[in-house]
Structure 1
Amino acid sequence: MKERIIWMLGGAIITVVVFVLAQQFLFGTTSAEQISQEEAEQIVLDTYSGDIEEVIEDVKHYSIKVKLPSGSYIVIVNKQSGELEEIRSHQTAQSDEKEQDSVGEEEKTEEDVEEPSNEDEQEESNSVPDKENNGDHEIVKEPEQEFLTKDEILKELQDEYEGEFQSIEFMDEERPYYGVEIEDKNEFIHLMIDAQTGEVTDEQIELKTQTPISQEEAIDIALDKQSGEIEDFEYKEINGTLYYIIEIETENDQDVTMRINALNGEVTVIWDDKDDDDDDQDQEED
């Protein structure tokens, strides 16, 4: 009998020890792979210059409220990868929470209230405006304001621009944008990218080699030769000579390319119009 009790006690002790060790191994390994709250805050501050107001932690994410000049935003950071999964305005987040609460309250109310007849439903649908109601208060949905991440912006630009990407910075203005700097063989390219759409809203080229003809002067020369809308602008070295290549769409929907010598301003006009045999395809002008 004694031996049986000893064996039972020994088995119970071994089971408890194994369980504790397993718990420490499993949970300890998981937590070691996750980034800390401080690391998550630093990731957010490196991307968006502002002040951290609040951090809410769940199993897989940190929800970090950051205050920027244009307002407060909620940034969702993945605990495992440290990636920024989502950014939206704080007002939008509050609106979503209120909407969820109102839906729950309406469902509870519907259980206690008698179902109206079909005629009553028809009259009510005709008289109520197309808005959501929560008792006496109307809930107006605000448009979500989500921004593209740096990685998404870079992925788009790498297909269009050659050279080395020197920097990319989020600028929180009235219309938030990313400022991007690219270094190419002969030039520095400065871009403004819409943070929501990814559209290039402004492009400035700064030549590494100073030339007598500036970018603005080259554009003026091209428009003096042919009025229209500039569709493309680039800077190239051809056979050791530096040129501005400017594409213009005329009022007659014709495409013309101006090749302007960056040293002396000499212009080569190239018309892209296969249907017009009377136009010169390549003519040089001083």
Structure 2
Amino acid sequence: MDKKMALRIVIATALILVIGTVSWQVFITPNSKQLAISKVEAQEIAGERYDGEIVGTEELSEQFIITIQSDLGEYEIKISRATGEVESVEQIKANEQPKQLSEQEVEEIVLKNAPGEIKEMSKSTEDKVEYYDAVVKDADEKTMIVKVHSETGEVVEKTEQKPAQNTEENQQNNTSNNQTIAKNEVNTEKNSEKQEKKEPKEEQNKEQKKEQKQEQEQKQEQVKEQKQVEEEKVKNITEAEAIQIALNRVAGEVDDVDLESSNGQLYYFVEIETEDDLEAEIQIHAISGKIVSIEWDD
């Protein structure tokens, strides 16, 4: 009887151990697995929060390290395996930003392609690309407009500007000269004929003054339109547009927006706090809307 009892005790103990092991695997281990995120989920979290291409994923015991390539460089994002929270974001490699030519360098390029005197220089933006627009007048009083790429120095356009009123003014001057010759011939006639010509002469003078006034008004209108075109070329983006550009790059809540000048250029500095309590300062060009840099603070 003692041996049977001992055997029963051993069997009962083994059953208790088996039941305990199964309970641990069924009730405890699955719960811990439910808290952990997968590699794909970690990549989705990184892709949703940060713009760029995922170029690498490293799996550690407690976290995933996601490497993202963006326009500004490579960033390393550490995500907790247990909670899916972003633990840190660090730039590990910065892309070289394109160099902007100085105005002096652009002037040299312009004068090589259109010798003369630069009367005016302005900047314009087309499809997020900046250009210099120079107005050059040569020794023959001809006016050339030269458009130069602000980064490469390539001359993308060179056109001659012809005054719209020159031909019309020459015709009017010829008409005026012919009228003067006719008047001189009339003056050699009798006094009675001179008297008869007075009224037509006065009418001609009035007509000439009227035409001159119309020419001046047309020129003033052209100058006004030219100023409007130039003002539109250098129009800055609004603060709201700068905020939207920043939020498109980094999701979060905007803390502060400043407009500052640096090296003769205007930039917006937008501070954004993310859901992970990280703070990003995004520098945006105030004319082109291009993101220049992103700085992160814990």
- Same fold, judged at TM 0.5 (above): no
What TM-score, normalized by structure 2, do the two folds share?
Answer: 0.33
Between the two structures, name the one with larger relative contact order (CA 8 Å, sep ≥ 6). Answer: 2
Bigger Rg over Cα: 2
Q: Give the structure with the larger helix fraction.
A: 2
What TM-score, normalized by structure 1, do the two folds share?
Answer: 0.34
